[in-house]
Structure formats: structure tokens, C-alpha cells
Amino acid sequence: MKTQVAIIGAGPAGLLLGHLLRAEGIEAVIVDRVSADYVLGRIRAGVLERTTTDLMDRLGLGERMHAEGLPHDGFNLADGERLIHIDIAGLTGKQVMVYGQTEVTRDLMDAAPERGLQIIYGAENVALHDIESDAPYITFTKDGTEQRIDARFLCGCDGFHGPSRQAIPASIGQTFEKVYPFGWLGILADVPPCNHELIYANHAHGFALASMRSMTRSRYYIQVPLDDRLEDWPDDRLWDELAVRLGPNAASHITRGPALEKSIAPLRSFVFEPMRHGSLMLAGDAAHIVPPTGAKGLNLAASDVAYLSDALIRYFRLADNDAIAGYSDKALARVWKSERFSWQLTMLMHRFPDSGAFDRRVQVAELDYIASSVAAQTSIAENYVGLPL
């Protein structure tokens, strides 16, 4: 099989890229090692920046998002009984959209056949070849038969553990990483949210987050030690702890219910440079991971795709090599700003096991400053809603 662009990974980054290329008449094929049902079963982010919603609208795929999603004008930082409201709409003139990553993925999947975007699921043993040439290709096994796709460019949208980043020689790549000494225990339940906007809480027991997927489905998280197990946290204990950490006002509005999904996720900050080598470009989690505190994971992947699709379109339409050459530097400039914001919010709202009284006093001073400073709130709002491309 031959195509202009072969995309490894059928998550939202790969699907968005494929749709943007097909909208410009550029040939693209997506391969993924797992099934479509497995992809849709992943429970991921739920807060979309303007960049992400604009891409869905640009593709004409935003109708369900606008009908079912929840536009939010702000969010809250809690510290004890104090609630600091960050008025995103008032400070930036923009909103964020609460709409689950699963729903974004479903919308992109459903539109693929009609728009001529081919997706090959169950592609095992994917390998990338000749990425330093102008004629790279991938091989994989499908139903026991080895197959090959020749392309002009390969795009790795296959996540942190995929083969794309590993295809770049160790002598070329550089890794930057910070591993945090705790994880997030999350619960998804079909209950109404305790507040109409998200609450990020700093408590003596650790961080907590009250979020939602809809007005009838809530997503909550608490900070836990990395060696905690799900068996340590039956539903009742988790609900009790959420009530303590989120504070009395939020606790009075929490509706309890059985977990639809419960998991513990480690937190890390990770960046791989460069995001392009030869004819291979990386996007999304293949190149970077952010702690979920700043709601940047999916949104950062979407901004990568915006830059990458523009570069590929300019190459195929205008024979513009400069856009391809500049993709990595352009994407990384925004990546590092998002990494900074996610790290900053993580440091502010979590309790670290090795921190002492001084560190806590600094957190309180920073929260005091945010509560009293329009400039500080504007900076947070600008970063949360998404910096311009």
C-alpha cells in the first residue's frame, strides 16, 4: 500500500491529523495495534481548550460537542475553606469546554469512513523503516499476514509506549523528565457534579479534584502514595476522603454512587526533543507527557497536530520544506510553556512527602497572592484556556 502520510496511532491526535489532511485532499492512512473498542474504552481528559474545539469546528465535527458539552467560564482553587475563583471568561474573553476525550475520539472515528480516512486496527508489531530517507515505510502484521505501507512522511501519534519515538536514534534524541512522588486515584460515577465548575483543592491530606463529564456523570481524583492499591480504596473510603479534602461546601453537594471506573495513575512531566527526525514527526504523548493538573494532555496533542497538519499541507501544496523543517522548534516552544504551567499548578496544589513548613508557607503565600491579584489570575486564566498558536 502507498500513501502520502502514514500515521501510527488512532487516538485523538492521529485521528485529528488524519482528518485535517484528508480535508485538504492529502492521502493518509492510520494504523493502531488495538481495536476500535479498546481505543474508545480509554478514560481520559475532559477539559478542552479553545484550540481543540476550534479544530473540531474547522472539520465540521463540533455539532455534538456543542450540543452535549459544557462550556465553562472559570474554575476554582481551594485551600481549606477558601475558594479562589479564576474567571476565565472575564479575564480572557474565552471559555473551556468540558467534553470527554472518549467523545472527541468517537466523533472523529464515526466521521472517518464518509471522509475517506482509512484506519487499520489490530496492526501488530508495527515497525518504522528508513525514516532518514525520503521514502520511509512501516511494516506490521494484520490477521497473521505481514503488510507494508510506503509513504512520504510518517507521523508518530502512538503515545508514550509506542514504537515511533524509539525509532529515533539515541544519539539524536534527548529526554527531559520529572517523576512525581504520588499518583492520582480517580473515580468515575454516574452522579451529578458537586459544583458547576471544577475545583482544584490543596488539603493537608493531599490534593483533590472535583470534575465532571456531564451534568449526570462526575469525575473525582485524590492524590495518593505511589504504592497504594485500588483494594486500599473501597468506594466509601474514597467518597469520605473527597468530602474532607474538597471542603465543607463542596462536600454538602457531593452525591455518592458506585464507581463505573476506578484507577490510579502516576504523574510525570516528560519531553523528548526533537519532535522531528528525517521523515518522521512525533505528536502528542509520543513526544511529551504533562501531569493532568493543568488539563493540557489532549490539548497539547491538538496544538501539535495544528502545527504538523499545517506543515504537511504546505509541503504537499506548495513544496514548502521550511514548514517541515521548523515543525519541531515551533511545537516545542508551546510544549514547554504547557509543561511549565502544569508543573507550576502541580507544585502549588499538591502536598509533597519531603516538603516541610517552609514549602507549605510558600504555597499559602502564592495562593494569597493569586486571591488578591488580577494579574496573577489573568496569567493562570490565559494558560488554562490555552495560549495562542
Whether residue 142 lies in the annotated active site = no
Instruction: Specify whether 196 is catalytic.
Output: no
Residue in 296, 307, 315, 327 annotated catalytic: 296
Burial class of 257 by CB neighbour count within 10 A (0 to 12, 13 to 18, 19+): middle
Q: Which residues 6+ apart lie within 8 Å of 230 measured at CB?
A: 185, 262, 263, 264
Judge whether 277 counts as a catalytic residue. no
Q: 292 catalytic, yes or no?
A: yes
Residue with cell 506490521: 140
Around Cβ 230, how many Cβ atoms within 10 Å? Answer: 13
Rounded to the nearest 5 degrees, what angle is found at the Cα of 262, between the Cα atoms of 259 and 263? 175
> Is there a catalytic annotation at residue 161?
no
Candidates 99, 221, 327, 384; catalytic one: 384
Given 19, 72, 203, 288, which residue is catalytic? Answer: 72
Report whether 209 contacts 188 (CB < 8 A): no
- Run of H or E residues at 30: strand 28-31
Catalytic residue among 99, 137, 180, 200: 200
Of the candidates 164, 115, 148, 146, the residue with the CA atom closest to the CA atom of residue 9:
164
* Cα 149 to Cα 273: distance, rounded to the nearest angstrom: 26
Which position among 12, 163, 291, 292 bears the catalytic label?
A: 292
Q: What stretch of H or E contains 250?
A: helix 248-251
The values of phi and psi at residue 46, to 5°, are -135, 0
Number of residues that this document lists for the chain? 389
Return the closest-CA partner of residue 258 out of 236, 243, 233, 242.
Answer: 236
- Residues with a catalytic annotation lie at 72, 200, 292, 296, 384
